Amino acid sequence: MTRSIGRFASLASLVVLSSSAIIAVAQQQVPPAGAEQAPAAPSPTAAPAFPAPQKENFTATSPTKEQVDAFLNASWGYDENRIWQVEAILKTQVEGYSKVIVFVGDKAGKDKPFRFPFIALPNGKFIMYGEELFPFGEHPYADLRAMMQERADGPYRGSAAKDLEIVEFADLQCPHCKAAQANMDQLLADFPKARIVFQHYPLPMHSEAKRAAEFGVCVAKQGGSSAFFTYAASVFDGQDGLATPDGATLTLNAAVTKAGQDPAKIAACAALPATAANVDASAKLARDVNVNETPTLVINGRLVPANVPYETLKKIVEFQMKIDGIQK
């Protein structure tokens, strides 16, 4: 995946998936799984036997075990193979801050169980893992969902309604964004109620990404969302042409033409300060929600890499719909 400023781990999931092949890539906005192991390792074909929780390890009144379980279910419930046990909720030296310890494993016993500790903050809305803060609660993605509904204003495919909103932060010069388009097309086919929004997030290491985004803003402005997605598909197809400024000009003009727009008019629009400001605002939205890599999706507030295996992505969308009360 293409990296931007910061560590992808700062918004990667608290994640141990049912298959080790997709560990650390399938769910976001919860911290990455810790490396500390639980005391007992499972046999190759049996679920782990977690140690029985001890009453003396529950000295804090907040959060409750039920609140921790609800949070983990919201984060991991899409994975029917994942199991966990809340082992401790302990007071710390600082009033209101609690240390929570969870043991995590999988039903098949394929992955070694591990011990996952985090700090719950007094307001009940965040936890701290390492140096990072992450939303906490029974509905940890609700606030970010509301923010995206208000601020994600890029071109979109699918439904005009925002009940199921999937926002894609992508860079038109990013090879992994190109590869993720197969997933995006399949999401559109499988979830007709979804509103799939494209937000520009050109990364500084891609020399022509911002110009490609500025052209895209103008194509959408002059030709609408349908023209934009035709343009974006053409840019992705000809992505190798963005390697040089001259090649980028040819590639972008060809994509504009394919989208039914006038390259001269689009280039003039792209040169306007307002167009650059539009791209900058989209990039700021990405930073505001801690998107550190492209391509990243925000699925009703839940951050997920766009190029995870499609079946995993589909499970996450279906689960998010379920907890948000959306009928497929």
Highest mean pLDDT among 42-46, 123-127, 200-204: 200-204
User: Where do the domains of the chain lie, and which CATH numbers do they carry?
Assistant: 30-139 (no CATH), 143-323 (3.40.30.10)
Average pLDDT over residues 138-143: 94
Instruction: Please tell me whether residue 165 adopts helix, strand or coil conformation.
Output: strand
* 273: pLDDT strictly greater than 50: yes
Please state, in angstroms and rounded to a whole number, the distance separating the CA atoms of residues 171 and 294. Answer: 7
The answer to whether 78 touches 315, Cβ cutoff 8 Å, is yes
- Rounded-to-10 torsion of CA 144, 282, 167, 82: -50
pLDDT of residue 110: 82
Residue 14 pLDDT greater than 80, yes or no? no
Burial 257-282 (b: 16+ CB within 10 A, else e): ebbebeeeebbebbeeeebbebbeeb
In angstroms, the CA 197 to CA 188 distance is: 11
Average pLDDT over residues 216-224: 98
Q: Choose among 117, 109, 51, 116: nearest CA to 82.
A: 109
Estimate the crossing angle of helix 310-323 against helix 175-190, to 10 degrees: 50
The pLDDT tens digits of the residues spanning 21-70 come to: 223 333 344 444 333 445 555 455 678 888 899 999 999 999 999 999 99
With the C-alpha atoms ordered 287, 133, 96, 84, is the resulting torsion angle positive or negative? positive
- In degrees and rounded to multiples of 5, residue 241 shows phi and psi of -70, -15
pLDDT in tens, 181-201: 999 999 999 999 999 999 999
Say if residues 253 and 259 touch (Cβ distance below 8 Å): no
Q: What is d(CA 144, CA 135) in angstroms, rounded to the nearest whole number? A: 9
* pLDDT at res. 258: 98
| pLDDT the model gives residue 296 | 97
User: CB atoms < 10 A from the CB of 200, how many?
Assistant: 29
Question: Is there a contact between 99 and 88 (Cβ–Cβ < 8 Å)?
Answer: yes
pLDDT in tens, 307-327: 999 999 999 999 999 999 998
Does 20 have pLDDT greater than 50? Answer: no
Q: Is residue 12 within 8 Å of residue 31, measured between CB atoms? A: yes
